[in-house]
Structure 1
Amino acid sequence: MAKKSGLGKGLESLMGEANAEVGAPAADSTLPITKIKPNKGQPRKNFNPDELAELADSIKQNGILQPIIVRKKGITYEIVAGERRYQAAKLAGLDEVPVVIRDISDEDVFKLALIENLQRSDLNPIEEAQGYKQLLDNNGLTQEEVARLVSKSRSAITNTLRLLDLPDEVQELMSEGKLTAGHARAILAVPSEEGRVRLAEKVVAQGLSVRQTETLAPLFSDNSQAEPVHRQPVPQSFKRAARQMRLALDTNVKVKTVRGRNKVEIEFEDEDALAHLVDLLTRD
């Protein structure tokens, strides 16, 4: 039976370093940026390009004032905390970055990255919910333990996890920042998946407030008050195309229709995998 990793003072100490005052860096050394790799399990998936550009400009003028926390992984170093600074440093053209090197277990790496992002309010609600779910599923924690870990109430964890009950289309709108967690809670009051999608699309199209969404939710709960939406099944040609691309690219591929648009989604793990995909797709 796998032993649960204790957080204790070790992780608390690391969080102290991750949240150190801007004017008091405590770097162990500097590392070539080419030797540093992102954490594949990083809970934050989306980085605002405008904010990254602003941080990159600041780094060009002032350097990186807070070191990136990393751990040794083979011949390279994996980011534990500070991927946004790493991405901005690459954008700024830095060759080396200040780092704090620590020996941290696989289990605690994700916990630390999640806590850092939560404390900095860097995660969108869906990323936050996915982070909690990963702690529950992969780390064997209870909701009570997750709540203590991130200094939130048990009910807050439960309510955030409920966002994952929303249809994929609605979750995508949240990830894009078009819907807030308040909107999502109102949409969750609608029992059917079709009703939730229709209400979400109406909220985005008309720029409705949370209060307006709450008022409309009962109407979308009663199918007799609105024309039902019949979802078209995924065409067999889409399924065949996705299967062929999965085999050709050796990664998960989805071909689907979202809000009237046909899309192809190709998953990749990191920049090296992306470069490999680009090579495969552009090769004569």
Structure 2
Amino acid sequence: MSRRSLIGEALASVPSEPSATPTPETPATPRPNFTNKRLEAFGEAARIVKRPTIRLKPAECSIWPGNARDYSMLDEFRLRSLIDSILAEGGNRVPTVVRRTPGGPLPYELVTGTRRHWAISWLNANHYPDIDLIAIIEDLDDEAAFRLADIENREREDISDLERGLNYKAAVDSYYGGVQLRMAERLKISKSQLSRYIALTEIPPFVVSAFHSPMDLQAKYAEKLLPLLRDGSVRAKLEAAADQIAAEQSFRRSGDEQPITGPEVLSRLVQSTTTKGRVQRATIVAPRGDAIGQVEKDQQKVLTLSLSPSNLTVDEILEALRPVIEQAKMRSARRR
């Protein structure tokens, strides 16, 4: 499917009127499948979004908090290709959707198009003040705004499952009386899929931090992690493993190394709950005899370094770490 806005696709494909009640000569409508449900969602978007566009400045819009995307996480690196595209075309080809905010601090509230809004804001602040945000004004209540934003965002690859889960969890209580089935029917998605996203919000921050990015934490991981988190006999092991992995991720970032992948993080977290035995510890000693930290090795042969280097130089610290790393490499080679 094209990466262009789903709203744009919906605008180009307004559905026909529903057929009459089936008769013996008219076959019954087939049971809705995933594709049919998505087309119905597009059709609803087409009925909602059908007004002429206007031009305005991003500074005239506040950001509706009901959208799944975390606006604060957007930056030039993530949006570089969109910025270049908007600059080349002189504006956003696919309109955003806004609604009026009478009595509000700004005239409009942005319902969909947060990436386009951010990109044009950036361009306005970086030598291109004449580029406007092209938008459609719609009179939408919060529930309709939520559904419209969800249709556009559902196929986006740069929204994490956790962001979607948090967005869905807030919406099911705000707009659907806490009934997930009602919400699933309105969004044209399966109840099981909706439940997986919402279940992901139960994952505590210490587990999330073990992943290189929230984008790596997939909704399906909740099925394996939540039972372990609810088991008091293994939760402490899971927390210790998550803290260790988070420390490794941080170390890899600082050294521009490849992060631990999402599937590997999940595997290590699950394995940590079945690991038996004690963690081995040893003191790290600097060349002049000062103890500068500790190295721990768990049953999976993973090393964790804790340093308190005081006033040592970088070269002295590296010299102390060299034998620790060489020993670990030799043991690893022997195991192969």
* CA deviation map 1:87-107 (0-9, x unaligned): 101111244221111100123
Match in the other structure for 1:41? 66
TM-score normalised by length of structure 1: 0.62
Q: State the alpha-carbon separation in 2 of the partners of residues 152 and 226 from structure 1.
A: 46
2-structure distance, mates of 1:82, 1:148 = 24
Superposition pairs for residues 12-161 of structure 1, below 5 Å? 15-16=45-46, 27-45=52-70, 46-47=73-74, 49-62=76-89, 63-74=91-102, 76-93=107-124, 94-95=129-130, 96-139=132-175, 140-161=177-198
The one of 209, 216, 226 equivalent to 1:188 is: 226
Q: Which moved more, 1:67-76 or 1:168-177?
A: 168-177
Q: Deviations over 1:212-255 (max 9, x none)?
A: 5565555433585566xxxxxxxxxxxxxxxxxxxxxxxxxxxx
Partner SS for 1:64: coil
Letter in 2 for 1:38: I
Partner Cα separation in structure 1 for residue 200 and residue 96 of structure 2: 31
**Which amino acid is the alignment partner of residue 68 of structure 2?**
P
Identity of aligned residues (%): 22
Q: Is the 8 A contact 1:71 1:104 kept in 2?
A: yes
- Contact map agreement 1:72 1:101 (CA 8 A) in 2: yes
State the Cα deviation string for residues 62-110 of structure 1 (Å, max 9, x = none): 1210111111112511111111101101111244221111100123223
1:221 matches 2:273: yes
Taking a change above 3 Å as real, the CA distance of residues 195 and 163 of structure 1, as seen in their structure-2 partners, is farther
- Higher helix content, 1 or 2: 1
Aligned AA for 1:44?
Answer: R
Offset at residue 128 of structure 1 (A): 0.9
Note the aligned Cα RMSD (angstroms): 3.6
Aligned to 2:208: 171
Say if 2:197 is the partner of 1:197. Answer: no
Which stretch of the first structure deviates more once superposed, 212-221 or 59-68?
Answer: 212-221
Q: How far is 1:166 from its partner? A: 1.4
Query: Aligned in 2, Cα 1:226/1:179: closer, same or farther, shift over 3 Å?
Result: farther
- What is the CA deviation profile of residues 147-186 of structure 1, one whole-angstrom value per residue up to 9, with x for unaligned ones? 2333332222222222122112223455934733155544
What code does the residue aligned with 2:45 have? Answer: M
Superposed displacement of residue 190, structure 1: 2.2
Take 1:210 and 1:90, find their aligned partners in 2: how far apart are those partners? 33
**Counterpart secondary structure, 2:94:** coil
Whether contact under 8 Å (2:42, 2:151) holds in the other structure is no
- Deviation of the 1:44 alpha carbon: 1.1
Amino acid at match of 2:153: N
User: What's the offset of the Cα at 1:134?
Assistant: 0.8
Q: Would the alpha carbon gap of residues 81 and 212 (structure 1) be closer, same or farther in structure 2, given more than 3 Å must change?
A: closer
User: What is the number of residues matched between the two proteins?
Assistant: 215
- Secondary structure at the aligned position of 2:120 is classed as helix
One-letter amino acid of the counterpart of residue 41, structure 1: G
Pair 1:48–1:155, CA change in 2 (3 A): farther
Q: Structure 2-normalised TM-score?
A: 0.53
Q: Which runs of 5+ in 2 are unaligned?
A: 1-39, 250-258, 280-305, 307-336
